[in-house]
Chains A and B, each alone.
Chain A
Amino acid sequence: MMKLDIHMGLQRGLIVASAVFVMAGAAFAEDGLTSLRGNVPIGDSSPAPAISHWQRDDQLIERNFAEQPPLIPHHIKNYRIDLHSNKCLTCHNRATAQKTGAPEIGPTHFFDRDGNPTTGVSPRRYFCLQCHVPQKSVKPLVENTFRNANTE
C-alpha cells in the first residue's frame, strides 16, 4: 500500500512538472523569447550571422569605468600564449614596450597575490585574455543598459 502511494505520488508529480514545462514553453513563445539560435526547429540549421571583423585601427578605446582593463584595438589572431612564450608581451612587456611603442603593461602586473613584487610578469597576470579582449562591432546578443559613468 505504502509502495503504491509513492508510485502514485511520483506519477502525479511528473504530470504536474510536464504541465509546468508546457505552460512555460507557451509563455516563452508568447513573450517572443527565443534561444540564441532563434525559433528554428531542432533538426534544422539556423541561419549563420554575418561574419564580423575585429576592430584593428590601433586607436585606444576609452575606458568605461575606473580600473577597467584596457581593451585591445587590434586583431590577435594566432597570438600564442603558452608555457614558453607570450606573444602579447613581445611588444607590451616593460623590456620591449619602449622600443615597439606599444602601451606598457601596468605596474600592478608585477605583484603576486600577497603583494610581493615579482621580477617578471606575475603568473596570475600572465594570461592577458582573462581581462583584456579585442572588440567587434556587432549587435549585442542581449540588451544591455550599462551606461558609462563619465557621461552621466
Chain B
Amino acid sequence: MTTLTRRSALRGVVGGSAVTVGLPFLDCYLNNNGTALAATGAALPVCFGHWLQALGFNPGMWVPKKIGAGYENNVQLKLFDPIRDKINIFSGMKYFLDGRPHETHTSTVQIATTGAVFDSGPIGPSLDSKIADVIGTRTRFRSLEVAYDGSRQSWSRRSGTSINPSEGSPAALYKRIFGPEFQDPNAAEFTPDPMVVARKSVLSAVTDQRAALMKQVGAGDRVRLDEFFTSVREIENQLELQLQKPSPMVACTVPKAEDEVKPDSLVETMETNSKIMAKLVAYALACGQTRVFNTWLGAQQWRRRGSSYTWHSSTHEESIDPALGYQKVVYDFIHEANQMFVDFVHILDGVKEGDGTLLDRTLVLWQTDHGDARTHSLEEIPIMTAGNAGGRMKSGMHVSAPGEACTRVGLTVQQIMGVPLNTWGTRSNETTKTFTEILT
C-alpha cells in the first residue's frame, strides 16, 4: 500500500483567466485485482468510442425477433453470436429531416453525431467531443480518430470550424501514440526532460497574447481563437504530463510496430490495417493515453480489386437477387465490416485488467447513416452499443423503439458518460427520453 500523494488538478493562469487543467491518475496504484485504485477504491476510468459504419444493413435481415435479453441474432448478425452478451441492439428508430434538404449519407450522420441537421454553416459539436470534455481532459490525447479506409475523414468535431481529422495510416497512428513522446506508465525509472520544461515556457509567450488578441476580434473570430488557444492548452497539458511520473496501468503493453499495407479503400487492405489500428486504439486506452476514440470505416469507397463498383455504388446499382431476395454484394460488404466490429470488441475484451476487461469499462456506440442505403431510407436505423461503461450499462439486450428518434440512444450514452444534459437534438430529433432499461 502506497501513500497517495495525488495532486488532482493543476491550477494556472492562461490569458488572464484562471483555468483548471486535469492531470491523470498521478501516483495512484491499482489494488491487487487491478480493478480499482488502491487508495480510493475508485473504479478504473470509463472509456468511450464512436464507431461509424455507413450504409446500414440489408432490410429485413438483422432485427432480432425477441425483445429484451436472451434474443437470438437474425441472419445478418449471426456473426455477432460470440459477443451477443457484450452488446445491445436497438431497432425501429428513425432520423427526422423536418422538410430540410436530404443530403444523402450526410444529413443523417449529422443527426447521429450532433442531434441536428444543418442546412449550411458550422456543424457541431459531436457527441464524442462533449463526452471528451467530461472524461478526456486528463489524458495525453483528448481523443483519437482513426479511419480504416486510409482517408483523413472524420465526423468528430469540437465545432464546425474545429474538426478532428482521422489518422488513416497505422504506421502514423503508431508513431503518434507510441513514438518518442510516449512514456511507459509501468517503467521503473522516470526522469523529467528539461527540454520539456523549456518548451512549456516558450508556449506561454503564445498564450500570453490571448487577451490582447481576443479584444481585437469580432464574435465569430473570437470563437475560433478560443478554439485555437484550447488546442494550445492541450499541448501545454501534454507537456505537463510528460513532467510527471505516470500512474501504472496494469494492462498496458507497448505493442511492436507492425508493417502496414499502404492505406487505401480496398477491402483486402483494410482487413490487414484495421486489425493493426484496432489493437493500437485498445493499447492506447489500456495505457491511459486517451479515453475517447472515433472509428470511421469509410464504407462508401470500399471496393474489391478489379471491380468497378464500390460498396456505395453497389447499394444503388446492384439488383436484388431474385433467388436470395437481397443484394448479395452489399450483404458481403456489410458482413466484412461487421466482422471488423466483432474483432474490435474481441480485442477490447481480450485486454484483462484484474477481474475485468478493458471492454467492461468501455462504451462503444455503433451508428450508421441509413436503414436501407439502397433507397437512402431514414427508417429502421440499426444502432448498437458494446461494453458496460464501467458497470453503468447492461448488455445483451435487444431494445425496440419503433418510430422514435435515434437521438434517444445518443442522449442515453451521453448521460451514461456523465455529460450534464437532459435533452439532446433539435426539432423532431430532440428527445428527453433515455433508455432506462439498459442502465444498471
Partners in one complex: no
